[in-house]
Structures are given as C-alpha cells and as structure tokens.
Amino acid sequence: SVNPDLASERQTASFSVEKLTALLDGGAEKTRIRRAVVTAIESDPVFSRENQYFQTQNERYEAAVRKAVHLQKKMHEMGWTENGPEYQYIYRALSGDVAFLLHHVFMRSISVLGSDKQIAKWIPLATQHQLIGSYAQTELGHGTYLQGLETTAVFDITTQEFILNTPKISAMKWWPGDMGRSATHTVVFAQLYIHGKCYGIHPFIVQIRSLQDHSLCPGVTAGDIGPKMNFEHIDNGYLMLKNVRIPRENMLSKFCEVRPDGTYVRQGSQKINYFTMTTVRISLISDEVLTPLMKACTIAVRYSVVRRQSKLKPGEQEAKILDYQTQQEKLLPQLAAAYAFHFINDYLQELFDRGYREIQRKNFDMLPELHALSSGFKAMITHHCTAAVEICLRACGGHGYSLLSGLPSLYTKILASCIYEGENTILLLQTARFLIKCFMAARAGHPVPPSVTYLAAVKPGKCPGKSKLDFLNPDIYTEAYEHVAVRLISSTASKLQDLIQSGVKKHDAWNQCTVQLVQAAKAHCHYITVKNFAETVEKLETKAGIQRIMKHLCDLFALHGIFSNTGAFLHDGYISAAQMDMVTASYLDLLAVIRKDAVPLVDAFDFTDKSLNSALGSYDGQVYQRLYEWAQKSPTNKMSPAYEKYLKPLLHNTLSKL
C-alpha cells in the first residue's frame, strides 16, 4: 500500500508521467526495451544489490566479479549483443555494480590505437574473455599531465623486444581498475626509448598474470591500492615492472611503429586518439553523473512528502517538509538541473556523433570545439551534479546520512567524477584557452566555431526586463547569460593582454588569470545549457502538459543560476538591483508552482525500487517500516564479542548496587 501522503501527490500531476518518461528515453519503444532489460536483470538474484551496504570491500569485489561472469551467460540467454538495442541499458540496470569495466577500455584502446593485425589477434581473445584486460595510464606521481609519465619502454634491437621498467616509486602505475586482482593483461603507457632517444608516451600490451594459475608474471609487482571513498567493488590496482620484456609486436602501432632495425615511424594522425578521450568524457555523463542525480532527486523528493516535521500553521497537522520554502529551494533547483543536463547531454551526444562522422571523412575541423566542449561540460556537469546530490543528501536530515537511504553511496561515487577523466579545474582551463583564442579571433573578424559565434557580437546594453513576469521570458534570461559569458571572457582576455603588455611573462600572466578563466569557462557552459534547455522546450509538443512543466523547469534552472550568482549579472549593471529583486520574486514563485508536480517529475525518471536501493525513496513511500526492517538485517545486529571481552568485566561486580 502506498503511503497516502505520497499517493496524494500523484493524483494532481499536471502532465502525463508516462509521456515524459518516453521523452526522456527518446521514444516509447526505447522505454519498452529499457524496462525489459531492467526486469530481466532485477529478477535475477545474482544481480541483487540488497546486501551491498553491509558488505566489506572484499565481498563487494567478489560479487562484482561474479556478476560480470554471470552477465556473459545472461546476455547469451537473453539474446542481447554488444550491438543490440538492449546493450545500452544493461549497465544502468546493474547500477554499475559489476567488474571488468576496464576490460572494455582495454578493448577500445586496442581497436583505436592498434594495427589491423593487432586488432585481429587481441579483440577476439578479449571478446571471448580468454584474457582480462586493464588500462594502465595513471601513475602514483602523474595523472592529468600525461607527458610527465615516468614508466619506460626501451627497445632492445638484439632481441626485438621492449624492456619495461618503473624506474622509481612515483612511476608505479596506480588506480587502474580491474588491475589490482583480476586482470591478466593491461595496456601500459610508457616513454618509448630507442637507441637512448625518447620518443614520448606510447601504449604497450603487457601480460601481468599467468593464464595458468593467475600468479604474477616475472618482474611484475601488482596488487590492490586498498580502500577508497566508494568503488569498493572495483580492484583499482598498482603495478611495478622490472625489466619486463614484451615482443616488438605488443606496441600498439596504428599511428606509430618501431621497425625491426629501430627506425621510428609515425603514421597518420594522432588526433583521432585525442578525440577518443573527449568522447569518453561525454559518454560517462549519462550513466555516471545524470543517473545518480536523478536517483538522488527521486529519493529526496519522495521522502520530503512523506516526512512531516513541525507545523506550518498553528493548530494544523505537522507539515510535509516539501511544503517549506527552504526545502523547495534545496531540492527543486536540483530537479530542474537534472532535466537541464539531460537535454544538454542529448545535444552533446548528437554533436559528438556528427563530429565522429566528420572525422571518419578525414575532416578534423570540429576537433578543437569538441575538445573544448567535452572538457568544459564534463567539468561543469560533474561539479554541479555532485553538489546537487550532496544537497539532496543533506535535505533528508539524519535519515539521509544512513547508508540505507542510498544517498551516501550516490554521493561518494559521483564525487569521483570530478576527478577522473581529467581533473575539473584543468579541464575548465582547457575550455578557457579555447574561448580566449576564439574571442580574439572573433573580435578580429575571423570565423569561429558555431558554439562561440556569440563572442563576435558586441552588445553592451541593459537587460530589458520590466516586471517579474518578464524574467520568465527565455529570451530575457538567455541573453543575460550570454552577456555574462561575453563579459567574463572579454574582461579576462583584457587582463591577460594587459599583464603581458606590462612585461609579465606569458605563462605567469596566464597563471595570474586562471581563477577568472575558470569562471569564464563555467559561464560559457552555463549559458549554452540554458540556451539549449530553452530551445528544447520550444520544440516540444504542447500536448499532455509536458511543454508547460518543462518550461517551468527551464525557467527555474535559469533563474536559480542568476539567484545563486547575482554578482555576475549585477557587476556592470546589465541587471539592475530592481530587476534582480524581480528575478528573486519570480524564482521564489516558481518554487511553489513546481512543488505541486515534484513527485510526478521524479516518477518520470522511472527508477525501480531495486535500482534506487533506498529505504527513503521507494515508490510506496513506506520509509520507517523499511528502515526498521532493513536495519535489523545489518551484521551489526549480531552478537558482538565486545560484551564478553570488555563490557561484562566493566559492569561486573556492580549488580548488587542498583
């Protein structure tokens, strides 16, 4: 039975939840396929996550390996293939709780960087799991700055082998997933040396464990890096190599080859490699960033209409906490952001698909723009969504802090997305470098990529909004975002030029501008997100109430961004103080409007109870019952030796006195 406080929220939905789910999925047929995958996975007890919050790191790892192996069987049974329509939903259905993710990166790196001969040899072996692959790039002492990697691969012309070494402790590979305990092979990135000359970073296939008994190969030291904030199910590992010899054929050689005589040959372009990294950044947004945020919103919103606390009006029943303005102001902007980022993700996916087609036609013109967008949006979205999940967690008070709420795990996992695949600050600075370049080009009248043509136009002006309703006009707020982005990019470009002209060295000048460059890059991404949301809403069908509610969310996302960062809009007077008060009024009004549809808006994300794995977020809203029943199963409710060992002696001999 559904908690009546939750049930009543669903009766007044202003739109069709089912239609909104289909919109999010990209069509009703896709919804159908997704649900079929979810049902198949969730009905299989091997994939259960019920005990997850009680398990140790070792138990989580073992379960993830078991699931990965079982998944092969399951796919075969169900007739799912890697190219089929079901495939994209499997990982989401498993909530990512499965091993061998790096095995796929291993395969992708061979596909992209390997010669035809290497692909023909290794891909079938990997596909059939006749080996388990990993991807060893990051070192103890080096992450985002790849040129600094210290592992070496020296070509030995006499034996036609590469000799791999980890010359010092900071050169040890550190963090690669699946490498700590599972992998038999890995792609090692190392500095290539031929005849004492360094040719920079290259990828090498190295066997690290025996296929007979899984023991470490000679010269290999490897293991697990130990406990992390999350990812207990993954065996992130370390790897040291001491004079490990691999055949010349094991250097991935689509673009660079070492000939038998030691001649180094570079073939084709490495730009495509560069592009692969940018696509990874975009491809992770959906599963690793948006899904957790949508889950957190679902849990927090459902809980907020079930939890009653204190009285809003004297003499009445205690109020649902979602009826408090402060609670709405915590949660509803995060819900709006989930939709905003869903739509910008669609936009980015489409752009990257187009880019990929162009590149296949040997047209590399889009690369700088794609690199800048993938860097900036990865940083902006992961940052924003991580903060949003944390807000959802805190908004659930004490119960949000219980692992059984599901929120701590969502938070500790999404947090990693701010760090992996490029640290966010460094990525934003890459975007900023692109923006400054384009700004200079645009102002000099040169052509610039489509996403930055707005930089060419000089529009000083003032915001034309005259009433609080005007600020629900997408043209008004989109232009305000555009104005701020241009202003920040332009003022930082000026500062940079001034510094250089005053004699500061270029790299010092750049460093002295980086705090502001990061702000400029964020403003650019925020502008594009608002603009895209507004354009998406405009294109939606007006039926079934979908467009109306999406318009409200778009308005909320945009006005929340202004309300949270008023200084950027007030600074040059583009928005006046009186106008800012209108923005605030409209923003606060919107909270009360969207609050009415809050539960239907999270229902549309269509998560099952099993996928949420949360005592607070279940569809029926029976929070307290669930918390109580679940807690009783905790291993901490088994008898502890602490009583016999410590408590009994402490309390002993004192019985008569009470």
Rg over CA atoms, the chain = 27
Cβ neighbors of 56 (< 8 A, separation 6 or more) are 232
Q: In the window 611-650, what residues touch a second copy (CB under 8 A)?
A: 624-625, 627-628, 630-638, 640-643, 645-650
Strands 133-136 and 185-194: parallel
Three-state secondary structure string covering 583-629? HHHHHHHHHHHHHCCHHHHHHCCCCCHHHHCCCCCCCCCCHHHHHHH
* Residue type for position 247: P
Q: How far apart are CA 276 and CA 359, in angstroms?
A: 11
CA 503 to chain centre: 41
Q: How far apart are CA 571 and CA 480, in angstroms?
A: 12
Asked if 150 contacts 200 with a C-beta cutoff of 8 angstroms, the reply is no
Bridge partners (DSSP) listed for residue 154: 163, 193
Structure tokens at 347: 């936009």
The response to whether 177 counts as a known ligand-binding position is: yes
| Contacting range for a second copy; rule: CB under 8 A; set: 169-177, 273-281, 358-366, 527-535 | 169-177
Structure tokens at 242: 């001491």
Contact status: 460 vs a second copy (CB under 8 A): no
Give me the helix-helix angle, 506-539 and 325-360, nearest 10°.
100
Give me the helix-helix angle, 424-443 and 474-501, nearest 10°.
90
Among 568, 594, 598, 612, indicate the residue that binds a second copy (CB under 8 A). Answer: 568
Contact status: 356 vs a second copy (CB under 8 A): no
Structure tokens at 376: 């900036």
Cβ neighbors of 455 (< 8 A, separation 6 or more) are 435, 438, 439, 442, 443, 448, 486, 489, 490
Among 24, 40, 113, 132, indicate the residue that binds a second copy (CB under 8 A). Answer: 132
Of the pair 195, 507, the CB lying nearest a second copy is at: 507
| Contacting range for a second copy; rule: CB under 8 A; set: 297-305, 336-344, 359-367, 573-581 | 573-581
Among 5, 25, 62, 249, indicate the residue that binds a second copy (CB under 8 A). Answer: 62
Q: How far is the CB of 238 from a second copy (least distance, A)?
A: 7
Q: How far is the CB of 168 from a second copy (least distance, A)?
A: 9
Q: How far is the CB of 210 from a second copy (least distance, A)?
A: 9
Of the pair 310, 360, the CB lying nearest a second copy is at: 310
Q: How far is the CB of 518 from a second copy (least distance, A)?
A: 6
Q: Cα dihedral sign for 504, 507, 508, 512?
A: positive
Contact status: 385 vs a second copy (CB under 8 A): no
Q: How far is the CB of 406 from a second copy (least distance, A)?
A: 11
Contact status: 120 vs a second copy (CB under 8 A): no
Q: How far apart are CA 25 and CA 38, in angstroms?
A: 14
Q: In the window 1-60, what residues touch a second copy (CB under 8 A)?
A: 53-54, 56-58
Contact status: 502 vs a second copy (CB under 8 A): no
Q: How far is the CB of 211 from a second copy (least distance, A)?
A: 5
Contact status: 425 vs a second copy (CB under 8 A): yes
Least Cα distance to 105 among 157, 177, 39 occurs for 177
Q: How far is the CB of 172 from a second copy (least distance, A)?
A: 7
Three-state secondary structure string covering 561-586? HHHCCHHHHHCCCCCCHHHHHHHHHH
Q: How far is the CB of 247 from a second copy (least distance, A)?
A: 12
The response to whether 138 counts as a known ligand-binding position is: yes
Of the pair 20, 414, the CB lying nearest a second copy is at: 414
Contact status: 347 vs a second copy (CB under 8 A): no
| Contacting range for a second copy; rule: CB under 8 A; set: 19-27, 360-368, 440-448, 571-579 | 571-579
Least Cα distance to 181 among 49, 68, 91 occurs for 68
Among 66, 433, 437, 551, indicate the residue that binds a second copy (CB under 8 A). Answer: 66
Q: How far apart are CA 290 and CA 273, in angstroms?
A: 26
| Contacting range for a second copy; rule: CB under 8 A; set: 82-90, 396-404, 552-560, 600-608 | 396-404
x/- map, 295-334, a second copy, by CB under 8 A: ------------xxxx-xxx---x----xxxxx-xx----
Q: Report the half-sphere exposure of 612 (CA within 13 A, side-chain side).
A: 27
Contact status: 590 vs a second copy (CB under 8 A): no
| Contacting range for a second copy; rule: CB under 8 A; set: 12-20, 64-72, 371-379, 462-470 | 64-72
Of the pair 43, 72, the CB lying nearest a second copy is at: 72
Least Cα distance to 385 among 525, 264, 249 occurs for 525
Structure tokens at 650: 């402490």
Euclidean distance between the first and the last CA atom of the chain, given in angstroms as a whole number:
47
DSSP symbol at 319: P
Contact status: 461 vs a second copy (CB under 8 A): no
Contact status: 125 vs a second copy (CB under 8 A): yes
Contact status: 573 vs a second copy (CB under 8 A): yes
Among 101, 163, 172, 282, indicate the residue that binds a second copy (CB under 8 A). Answer: 172
Would you name the residues annotated as active-site residues? Answer: 421
x/- map, 184-213, a second copy, by CB under 8 A: x--------------------------xx-
Contact status: 501 vs a second copy (CB under 8 A): no
Contact status: 274 vs a second copy (CB under 8 A): no
Residue 506 CB burial class (10 angstroms; 0-12, 13-18, ≥19): exposed
Q: How far is the CB of 227 from a second copy (least distance, A)?
A: 4
Among 94, 272, 282, 418, indicate the residue that binds a second copy (CB under 8 A). Answer: 418
Contact status: 402 vs a second copy (CB under 8 A): yes
Backbone conformation region of residue 214, classed left if phi is above 0, alpha if psi is from -120 to 50, else beta: left
Q: In the window 220-259, what residues touch a second copy (CB under 8 A)?
A: 223-229, 235, 238
Total binding residues for a second copy by CB under 8 A? 133
Tokens 């996403």 sit on residue: 451
Contact status: 284 vs a second copy (CB under 8 A): no
| Contacting range for a second copy; rule: CB under 8 A; set: 21-29, 124-132, 244-252, 259-267 | 124-132
Contact status: 143 vs a second copy (CB under 8 A): yes
Structure tokens at 454: 């707005």
Among 27, 397, 460, 464, indicate the residue that binds a second copy (CB under 8 A). Answer: 397
**Residue 525: strand, helix, or coil:** helix
Asked if 395 contacts 388 with a C-beta cutoff of 8 angstroms, the reply is no
Among 127, 170, 243, 494, indicate the residue that binds a second copy (CB under 8 A). Answer: 170
Binding site residue list: 138, 177
Binding site residue list for FAD: 138, 177
